[in-house]
Amino acid sequence: MMISTAPTHAGFMSDLLDAVCTEETLGGPWRTIGLDGEVGDCQILPRSARVFGKYRGPLVDLLDDRDLNRRVALTILWDCRRRLRTQDYQRVAFCYNAGPGAEYTPNNRRAWYYAKRVTMRLSRATMPTTRLRLASYERRTE
């Protein structure tokens, strides 16, 4: 019997969102425009916002409203998760960066390494919580 280690709780997506947005801006100012025209905290391309993020408002709002930017990014992450039918956060991060039609291989180096960096950020962010849960569980079972 194979046991899945992929997180299944709702916090998984918010943790992934935080890791993606931090990687996108590298901790810099959230109100930025990238070299390829991506905007805001989570560096969303206008086309991605419309097609995958289901956003229909003015694009300037994605730059000015941080919460809106993060909600659209979360919608894109959920869409990637649904399309890929996976809970593997590395694959979801790859999809966010390369697009849902991109093939998940090391040949797509830019997106592959992006997904690896997001995974490292995510594991650093969630590791202390996991350790606390394990310590609490061990105390209860003794």
Query: What does R_g of the chain's alpha carbons equal in angstroms?
Result: 16
Q: Tell whether 3 is covered by a domain.
A: no
Q: What is the pLDDT of residue 133?
A: 45
Asked if residue 55 belongs to a domain, the reply is: yes
Give domain status of residue 51, yes or no: yes
Q: Has residue 5 been placed in a domain?
A: no
- Best mean pLDDT range from 32-41, 51-60, 111-120: 111-120
Residues spanned by the domain of 24: 11-141
* Count of domains forming the chain: 1
Q: How far apart are CA 64 and CA 39, in angstroms?
A: 9
Residue with tokens 């100012």: 29
CATH of the domain at 79: 1.10.530.10
- Residue 83 scores a pLDDT above 50: yes
Q: Could you tell me the CA-to-CA distances from 120 to 16, 20, 41, 57, 61 in Å, in that order? A: 11, 11, 19, 33, 30
The whole-number average pLDDT for the span 90-103 is 87
Q: What is the mean pLDDT of the chain?
A: 79
